[in-house]
Structure 1
Amino acid sequence: MFQQQFGFQRISNSKAEHCCVPFCKASSKYSKVLSFHTFPSDTETRLKWFAAIRRDCSRHFKKEDFRVPVFNTGRRMLKRGAVPELFEWNNYTHPGTEPMVWERKRSHPPLLDHDYASAPDPAVVDLALDENMSLREEILQLRKQIEEQTLNQRFGLHRFAGSDKDIRFFTRFASYDLLMRFWALIEPLLPSMVSVTQAQSGTFTEPSSPATPPLQPIDEMFMFLNYLALGLKWHDLADRYGVRQSTVVRTITTWSDFLYTVLGSVRIWIPEERIKEHLPEEFKDYGDTRVILDFMELRCQPSSPLVQSEAFSACKSHYTLKGLLGVAPHGAVTFISPLYAGSISDKQIMRVCGILSLLRPSMAVMVDRGFLVNDGVPCKIYRQPFLSGRFRMSAYEVRATQANARLSVHVERLIRRVKEHKFFDTEIPPQLIGSINQLYAVACLLTNYENRPLVKA
């Protein structure tokens, strides 16, 4: 079958030569590997040819009958006296002749298909599994080393774990121990945190850059506390933590919403009997005081003309938001109102914020002398000259009564606990206006966790 299919390979030639040996079908028309030779001119040799055959074809000569051609493209020449000896009737073989196509096919048996379903040697499988496990462990170790190197290089809480002074500076928490207690309180609730996407937060887009490893949750919280405690700019926080500014904005927004939900679910208004139990010595002459009230203001950048017209404060000559804050005598924040536009009056805030519904005739509130709200307050109001928003009293006021002086220092320290957050000194950008109430409330509520209460010795 092979001989019939591949036996004759036609080549282009101007003339064709044929072998004259009986039963030989070789022709230069169908094979370019054969050479054809005329009968020799030497009479004796010619007679020998005639005796052997009466035809000329190279495949009937032995390899040693040929002379090596001078050029590779030259025609092979027979040696003098060479006589054809290889014929079909004597089962000729010619190792020097390139086999025909069908001969090559027959000389190379077909390759057997691989049996992919056959089971491999168990020893080979065990060796491969051991090698895979070894490579996997090596990859895990390298990954762990990279994460540790990244962690050591990145700004985060781990750098300041041994310094309560640094913890106080960066977070306003009095000590690392207090910060870790707060973390233990909120960590179990982290799975319920909803991350704010860039589209939801309305932040700007930034050009693409190589991906950076995400921050650990505890470092995200640390970044959020840095923002409140130091009032750092987004660019500064992004450089410190090695992230994008958009990541900083999303982290601040996400954590303000999360902590607002967690901390805001705790009732902070304290019953009268508990206030009396922890009443500081400075308040011995004002034992019925339940809360110290003060107004808090934040500067902002309104995002629309309508908000600008409502937020402009003629007193401050700036766009502001204002809220009412209440602090118990022993230092706990017990009331936080929503923020209102800076153009609203103190009386209006008192009427709508909800504080009046918590006061009873048996109670007393203590306010700054600039706090001129008396109408509608259902209890006694202590308006002392030392509560004037100043950090120091005049020499006359200090000499007037030492008790009032001690009370002055104590109350100012209570209010300063909240205002120590530099967040209150910064100007709130438009991107955070939507989360300003959460940020403000969380900054005030954190005071209850950052410091130990100021109670009687």
Structure 2
Amino acid sequence: MPYCCVPGCTSYQRKESDKNISFHRFPSDSKACREWTVKVKRDIGPHFQITDNTRVCSKHFTQDCIICSLTGLHRLKRGSVPTLFTWCCELKPRRTLQRHQGVCDIETLEEEEEDQHLFPDQNTREEKEKQKEIAGLTEENENLRSQQFCLQRFQCEPKMILFYTGFKDYETLKALYLSLQPTAQSLVRWSQMQRLNKTEQTVTAGFHVHNICLFDQFFLFLCRMRQGLLSTDLTVRFNLSKATYQSDMYNLG
């Protein structure tokens, strides 16, 4: 009994007799026979020979290729070629690129279309992980800022302002600072003034510390005066090096 010679096809005439599937011989024309051989992906050799029992079933032909007679027999139209195969559905879409180079012939390049559905989950997962990491760092940064020992941290806590500075609330403290600010901006350390007097140089810049703003320097001074905080404690609270505190802040307290 004939069977379908297409790789992967299991059609067998005895088994398929009641399923309206027909089996067709290879064409006698050598050119057409070779075309069928190429289409079904078979190479004539020791493992494959075309005989009278070598058939291709109707599953691999389009409907317009098959003619049904009044007696129920099926035959192929002249020139029909098998084109329906399982591997055709598995192939990735291709695109053809044409490139012109002066008078040179057109070079046609076939390259596989990148399958955009292979890695979407991985890309989305990596993007979500990055966003999660950024959100975590942002939250950590906000937490560190909220824990920083400075006036901004206590501006809504009158009890803490009173405890560290002696002023009843932030607004009162700020009002005093604004009244002193012009003088504070031109303030010169005692040690700096001694050096200037020895060299007879003119004061060109006021006292300032780059590590913390002037308002927080005033807050540091009040903490030392109000609570008697030691220099080591103040350097830790205000995130200052001991050298910076001793050289730039000590003369304030």
Normalising by structure 2, we get a TM-score of 0.34
Tell me which of the two structures has the higher relative contact order, counting C-alpha pairs closer than 8 angstroms and 6 or more residues apart. 1
From the CA coordinates, give the structure whose radius of gyration is larger. 1
